[in-house]
Structure 1
Amino acid sequence: MTRFASGSLPRYILQRVLLVLPMIWVILTLVFVVLRVAPGDPVSAALGDRLDDEALDQRREALGFNDPIVVQYWDYLVSVVRLDFGTTFSDNQDVLEVVRDNGGATLSLTLAAFVIALLVGIPLGLIAGRYRDTVPDVLIRLFGILSYAAPIFFVGYLLQAYVAGPLGLPTSGAAGVETVFYMERDGLNRTHILLIDVFLSGNSYYIEDVLKHLALPAVTLGLLICGVFIRLVRVNILQTMQSDYVEAAEARGIAPTKVTWRHAFRNALVPVITVIGLQFALLLGGAVLTETTFNWPGLGDKLVGYINERDYVAVQGIVTVFAVAVVVISVVVDIVNALIDPRVRY
């Protein structure tokens, strides 16, 4: 009985997992409604200039767009449960295969950007909070505001123009032509995640080439949320430095550096972990612009292409995958947060 008592970790995890289903259902419903309220129908929007009226009507009938909206909605939910996201209009590919082939590039970019944001944002936030109202604090806060407010494509173009040349970094693509050719020829694309595949290959040239291509897009996207982490850590460092246990540690003669790192810093990280899920969603949104700016072969770049082609089926499938990924990551973050801070469970 005490196993699932109020405040127990298993009970909290069960509650969060059970909430996933209604959250995903709401997201699927919103995606379906938003794409259906647009004028016309998906077939006419994507193929209206390529087929005559009779062929268009046959295509609508085959795809079920002539059915009542309730029937379409039910078929859509059933297909998603079966992991069947349909076939794209523009290039006749299975949407799930598009996600598989391009999702690895987006995942690599997102995770690299997230690591950069943490490595830059958390130490700077700590310094700003530790040395409040000093020159470093003012400069760090200004940097945080600019990094968050600057448009992604603008930052990307600046890095391409003024950083890529001096450092010898590529400005487009996920890898050089030679790396892609030999990886495919030797059958080294095992996971569909190029960053993992090159490390598994053990070839230093491939690894260096992929990391060079990843550098500028990851920095551009990482700066998007770097300012969020700076602000969060700074504010919470200031709050924890004024708490009773920190004052008690200082009264016992513990060095200020140890007080900051052992007492204030650890507690200041709890709110950062809480918002990781939200920032992951922000990164996925930013990945669309970043991939377009750097011609990065990920889902964001494919999504923009399908939007331009007015390929509703492809757009619907990719947006659904993005949304479900955000929900799952948010639940995982909530569980990790509950492990770190037991107060979250109540």
Structure 2
Amino acid sequence: MGGYLLKRIVSLLPVLFVVAIVDFIIIHLTPGDPASVMLGSQATEEELANLREQLGLTLPIYTRFFQWIIGILQGDLGWSIFMDMPVTEAISEHLGPTLSLTILAEIIAILFAIPLGIMAANRRGSWMDQSFMTFAMLGISLPSFWIGLNLILLFAVQFNWLPAAGYQPLSSGIVNHLKYLIMPAVSLGIMQGALIARMTRSSMLEVLGENYIRTAEAKGLKMWIVTYKHALRNAFIPILTVIGLSFATLIGGAVVTETVFNIPGIGKLIVNSVLRRDYEVIQGTVLMIAAAYVFINLIVDILYAYIDPRVRYDKS
């Protein structure tokens, strides 16, 4: 296992380097001038030229890229022009709300999706299975911002049960924390839950047709033992893959939801940085999200060996 982990970690470095190159080039080729945004429309050309030189925007693009890469190797993602702080500090300040939102959304998705997928697989072709497929298709099709707006209209405006927007940290109390996160988490988790549920149903249908499942049923084992102890464990690897990918997707895909619910997370940081042309922050957050994707995939690969004993990463 140790050798496999070392190889996988080394193999991640070229991936992150290519992501860094694409990230840097796309952002710096995008039209926009941070100096014009900072000084406003009344600034003279001399003032703009002086500020561009102070910010290093007059240097060749390859020079700025290598300076950025060297900074990353030293743990420095750059300096935010508008926030006047290191990019790592800006990301850490906004990371907490995003992690709270994505973790809660993933928990909601898993708690509803896996049992529904199992029930649909056990009752293949029934009205319950058809209803499940219909709701799953709706969950995949409906955009999260539309769901969020309807939740606000229903639970915040009509019933006045939950706050319409905003965020309270965990230090304010778990109940108060969840009151502000439950609606955005539900709107964000419905689509991922639908994907996990469809994969659960598909994977369970494949396993439930195996001979060892029929043997377990013939021995008189209870249905819930056959389903959860024998079938689910063997069907869980593709489900785990979708769960890992969905969690990574939630981290990068919370931009719209955080904007709708005014949550000060990574999504809102990206939107504000794009509007202000704060290049360093955009580069840093995109690279951080890409790193989250590759490391979550690594964790999922490691978990395979613990879930399914047939999976081994050593030479034997």
TM-score, normalised via structure 1 length: 0.84
Aligned partner of 1:169 in structure 2 is 162
The one-letter code sitting in structure 2 at the alignment partner of 1:251 is A
**Structure 1 residue 13 displacement after superposition:** 1.6
The one-letter code sitting in structure 2 at the alignment partner of 1:166 is F
**Structure 1 residue 247 displacement after superposition:** 1.6
Aligned partner of 1:113 in structure 2 is 105
Aligned partner of 1:234 in structure 2 is 201
**Structure 1 residue 27 displacement after superposition:** 1.3
Q: Which runs of 4+ in 1 moved over 6 A?
A: none
1:333 aligns with 2:303: no
Q: Indicate if the aligned counterparts of 2:199 and 2:242 stay in contact, CA closer than 8 A.
A: no
Select the residue among 145, 149, 155 that pairs with 2:147: 155
Aligned partner of 1:19 in structure 2 is 11
1:241-270 CA-to-partner distances (Å, cap 9, x unmatched) read: 011211221222223332112211111221
Q: 2-side partners of 1:36 and 1:27: how far apart?
A: 14
1:282 aligns with 2:274: no
The residue correspondences of 1:164-313 to structure 2 (distance < 5 A) are 164=156, 165-166=158-159, 168-175=161-168, 194-195=169-170, 197-198=171-172, 206-313=173-280
Q: 1-side partners of 2:126 and 2:19: how far apart?
A: 45
SS in 2 for 1:345: coil
Structure with greater contact order relative to length (CA < 8 Å, sep ≥ 6):
1
Q: 1-side partners of 2:279 and 2:23: how far apart?
A: 11
SS in 2 for 1:168: coil
Question: Residues 84 and 329 (structure 1 numbering): CA distance in 2 closer, same or farther, change over 3 Å?
Answer: same
1:74 aligns with 2:66: yes
**Structure 1 residue 10 displacement after superposition:** 2.3
Q: Indicate if the aligned counterparts of 1:46 and 1:311 stay in contact, CA closer than 8 A.
A: no
**Structure 1 residue 95 displacement after superposition:** 1.8
1:84-142 CA-to-partner distances (Å, cap 9, x unmatched) read: 22232333233222111111010100111011110011111111111111111111111
Question: Residues 63 and 137 (structure 1 numbering): CA distance in 2 closer, same or farther, change over 3 Å?
Answer: same
The residue correspondences of 1:63-102 to structure 2 (distance < 5 A) are 63-102=55-94
Q: Indicate if the aligned counterparts of 1:122 and 1:229 stay in contact, CA closer than 8 A.
A: yes
SS in 2 for 1:60: helix
TM-score, normalised via structure 2 length: 0.91
The residue correspondences of 1:24-39 to structure 2 (distance < 5 A) are 24-39=16-31
1:49 aligns with 2:41: yes
Q: 2-side partners of 1:149 and 1:129: how far apart?
A: 22
The one-letter code sitting in structure 1 at the alignment partner of 2:137 is I
Question: Residues 270 and 66 (structure 1 numbering): CA distance in 2 closer, same or farther, change over 3 Å?
Answer: same
Aligned partner of 1:189 in structure 2 is none
The one-letter code sitting in structure 2 at the alignment partner of 1:69 is I
1:41-74 CA-to-partner distances (Å, cap 9, x unmatched) read: 5544665636432232223223332222221211
- Structure 1 unmatched ranges of 5 or more: 1-8, 176-193, 199-205
Q: Indicate if the aligned counterparts of 2:35 and 2:52 stay in contact, CA closer than 8 A.
A: yes
Question: Residues 40 and 166 (structure 1 numbering): CA distance in 2 closer, same or farther, change over 3 Å?
Answer: closer
**Structure 1 residue 145 displacement after superposition:** 1.2
Q: Indicate if the aligned counterparts of 2:233 and 2:307 stay in contact, CA closer than 8 A.
A: no
Q: Indicate if the aligned counterparts of 1:156 and 1:217 stay in contact, CA closer than 8 A.
A: yes
Q: Count how many residue pairs are aligned between Structure 1 and Structure 2.
A: 312
Q: 1-side partners of 2:269 and 2:298: how far apart?
A: 27
**Structure 1 residue 144 displacement after superposition:** 1.2
Aligned partner of 1:128 in structure 2 is 120
**Structure 1 residue 335 displacement after superposition:** 1.3
**Structure 1 residue 166 displacement after superposition:** 2.6
Question: Residues 40 and 104 (structure 1 numbering): CA distance in 2 closer, same or farther, change over 3 Å?
Answer: closer
1:286-332 CA-to-partner distances (Å, cap 9, x unmatched) read: 31111011111111112112212222222222222222222222212
Aligned partner of 1:5 in structure 2 is none
Question: Residues 55 and 89 (structure 1 numbering): CA distance in 2 closer, same or farther, change over 3 Å?
Answer: same
Q: 2-side partners of 1:46 and 1:131: how far apart?
A: 61
Q: Indicate if the aligned counterparts of 1:274 and 1:337 stay in contact, CA closer than 8 A.
A: no
The one-letter code sitting in structure 2 at the alignment partner of 1:240 is V
Q: 2-side partners of 1:269 and 1:242: how far apart?
A: 15
The one-letter code sitting in structure 2 at the alignment partner of 1:244 is N
